[in-house]
Amino acid sequence: MSSHYEAPIREPLVLGEKSYHDISVDVGAPVLGKANKSWWIVFTIALVAFLWGLGCIIYTISTGIGVWGLNKTIGWAWDITNFVWWVGIGHAGTLISAVLLLFRQKWRMAVNRSAEAMTIFAVVQAGLFPIIHMGRPWLAYWVLPIPNQFGSLWVNFNSPLLWDVFAISTYLSISLVFWWTGLLPDFAMIRDRTKSPFQKKIYGILSFGWSGRVKDWQRFEEVSLVLAGLATPLVLSVHTIVSFDFATSVVPGWHSTIFPPYFVAGAIFSGFAMVQTLLIIMRKVSNLESYITVLHIEYMNKVILLTGGIVTVAYITEYFIGWYSGVPYENYTYLSFGAATGPYWWAFWALITCNLIVPLSLWVKKLRRNIRWTFFVALVINIGMWFERFDIIVVDLSKDRLTSSWAMFQPTFVDIGTFMGTIGFFFVLFLLYARTFPVIAQAEVKTILKSSGESFKRLRAEHGDDHSHVQTVEEYPADAGPAANVEGKHFDTVFDDSKEEDSENNEVDYELHRGKIDNLLSGVGIFDPAVHKQDDLKMINGVGPVMEQKLHQLGIFTFEQVSRMTDREYDLLDEIVSEFPGRAKRDDWAGQALTLKNKN
């Protein structure tokens, strides 16, 4: 029997006293519940931005590319900057789901689903730009090698822009099936848990009739592993091919062999920053703090730190080679009036500040584990990586070999509006996803619960590494009749320490605590049987029949009341009901009650 051993030095990845069922409930809650007001507000803003962007795109296509700020010297600016930026953002998702799978990183399981969703949605945004930046986008199908009536006129396979077509479409489609295959068991969970016939129908279709047979799981795991093995070189190749758009050119500053690995490192850097931005909000909004923990955030910060370091080394290399090459053009681009001190000095220094200096703060453990600071740094990196692409593209183009062709670039409102529109579209997709998809791969998290769950780690610490989490067969006496081994009859679940609760002597000393009780009720609100409906407080993990009785005696009857509890109320409760000190806080009753309340 496996003992689910894990080194005690590792911090738990699933916090709280979670059971398999709790995971299903927590992951299913946002899907099975209703959207709250803030979701609608954010969704509306994103939708408006998207529609505005759509207007800009239609205006561009119907009027001409001249509505953008491009000129004869600078033929690529915001369009390709945004393209590379979005593709880069997409890379973290594949990195988390594929590379971390190959390295057997358990912490990826809570974040991979959302990271992959981010990949898909970011690549969709990226995919818009190669189309809309065309002068004649209605002829875009000419990039495909389709037999035709022009004597079968083919495409030219020497161009990195054509490689882009193959790379991006392969990347998007492979990411999509990888993501979808992983979703099948989770859709099946929603299908089997929902009570609404409409949802049952929809998730029945989405889950492809997944039944969870042992053979299905065997194939599923093999398919995931092979796809991870394919996606890893894919993720490296896709951004490599994107970097070829520049690296294979003859433009000083672009023609550089360092671009492929350097772009990939930058992609992971910016992609992880975007994952942080999204997950820090999502864990709060969807009540997933037990699964996406500070540890996950710290691990991602470490990846940011590593790839940020690689990017820094690349910047320094570029500078060194610019000087070392002895080529005046290279030297010029990088040193004299080029990037750092030329007319685009502000973009250059924005890049240095955002990508080199600010992320250095993550070396400090305290800041690395600080959620607010992480959020700030992640935003800064997203800005910095946009400037990196802008600098590479625009600065190097603006002052090329012939001084007579030097020019500056000024974006128009259409450039900006299109970019805003893709951000809006991205969030529209992501917000819809967060409401309809299981945002955590619950089937995967369940596989690590016994090795990395907080409660199981505690059990191992208390009872030794080889402590089995199940009762052995001998403990199921056959003579007790059928179902004698049902939980609670012959053994208690490991999550329940109701033994501690003494059903005798269950009176709260009302007189003694009158002041504290009043104080407590003032914090959580008073229950009025005329307007409120009593909830089953036992649904909160950690509240047993005895505790419920005590809460009732105090005047707490609803999830609403429990959800308002803060540290102050927890302390008061501990003083009044002294049997289980710290219990309410440890189990996060307020958070649980909030989830339960929203579900009703």
Partner 1 sequence: MAATKIHAIYTDDDLLMQAVKQTRSANYHISEVFTPFPVHGLDHAVGIAPTRIAITSFLYGLVGLSVAVLMMNYMMIQDWPQNIGGKPSFTFYQNMPAFIPIMFELTVFFAGHLMVITFYMRSKLWPFKKAENPDPRTTDDHFLMEVDADNHDVEKLTKFLYDTGASEISLIENEQDH
Residues 204-233 that bind partner 1 (CB under 8 A): 204-223, 225-227, 230-231, 233
Q: Minimum distance between the CB of residue 359 and partner 1, rounded to whole angstroms?
A: 31
Q: Minimum distance between the CB of residue 477 and partner 1, rounded to whole angstroms?
A: 9
Instruction: For helices 259-285 and 294-324, give the axis angle rounded to 10 degrees.
Output: 160
1 belongs to the binding site for partner 1 (CB under 8 A): yes
Q: Segment 231-270, which members bind partner 1 (CB under 8 A)?
A: 231, 233-234, 237, 240-241, 244
Q: Segment 161-180, which members bind partner 1 (CB under 8 A)?
A: 162-163, 166-167, 170, 173-174, 177-178
Binding window for partner 1 (CB under 8 A); candidates: 133-141, 148-156, 365-373, 560-568: 148-156
- Locus of tokens 């008061």: 572
CA distance 144 to 217: 38
- Locus of tokens 């190669």: 130
Q: Minimum distance between the CB of residue 163 and partner 1, rounded to whole angstroms?
A: 4
Binding window for partner 1 (CB under 8 A); candidates: 151-159, 318-326, 352-360, 390-398: 151-159
Locate 179 and state its tokens: 């993501």
148 belongs to the binding site for partner 1 (CB under 8 A): no
Q: Segment 451-490, which members bind partner 1 (CB under 8 A)?
A: 468-471, 473, 476, 478, 482-483, 485-487
Q: Segment 393-452, which members bind partner 1 (CB under 8 A)?
A: 442-444, 446-447, 450
The count of C-alpha atoms lying within 13 angstroms of the C-alpha of 345, restricted to the half-sphere facing its C-beta, is 7
CA distance 105 to 99: 9
Binding window for partner 1 (CB under 8 A); candidates: 187-195, 271-279, 319-327, 383-391: 187-195
In contact, 577 and 555? CB cutoff 8 Å: no
The count of C-alpha atoms lying within 13 angstroms of the C-alpha of 423, restricted to the half-sphere facing its C-beta, is 16
DSSP letter at 345? H
Q: Segment 21-50, which members bind partner 1 (CB under 8 A)?
A: 21, 24
CA distance 114 to 426: 13
185 belongs to the binding site for partner 1 (CB under 8 A): yes
How many chain residues bind partner 1 (CB under 8 A)? Answer: 81
Using CA atoms, how far residue 18 sits from 26, 318, 486, in Å, is: 10, 50, 19
DSSP letter at 12? P
Q: Which is nearer to partner 1, 471 or 600 (CB)?
A: 471
Select from 73, 79, 68 the least CA-distant residue to 251. Answer: 73
Q: Which is nearer to partner 1, 223 or 383 (CB)?
A: 223
CA distance 275 to 25: 24
CA distance 376 to 358: 10
Q: Minimum distance between the CB of residue 3 and partner 1, rounded to whole angstroms?
A: 9
Q: Which is nearer to partner 1, 173 or 325 (CB)?
A: 173
Amino acid at 26: D
Binding window for partner 1 (CB under 8 A); candidates: 35-43, 157-165, 323-331, 407-415: 157-165
Q: Minimum distance between the CB of residue 458 and partner 1, rounded to whole angstroms?
A: 18
CA distance 234 to 289: 32
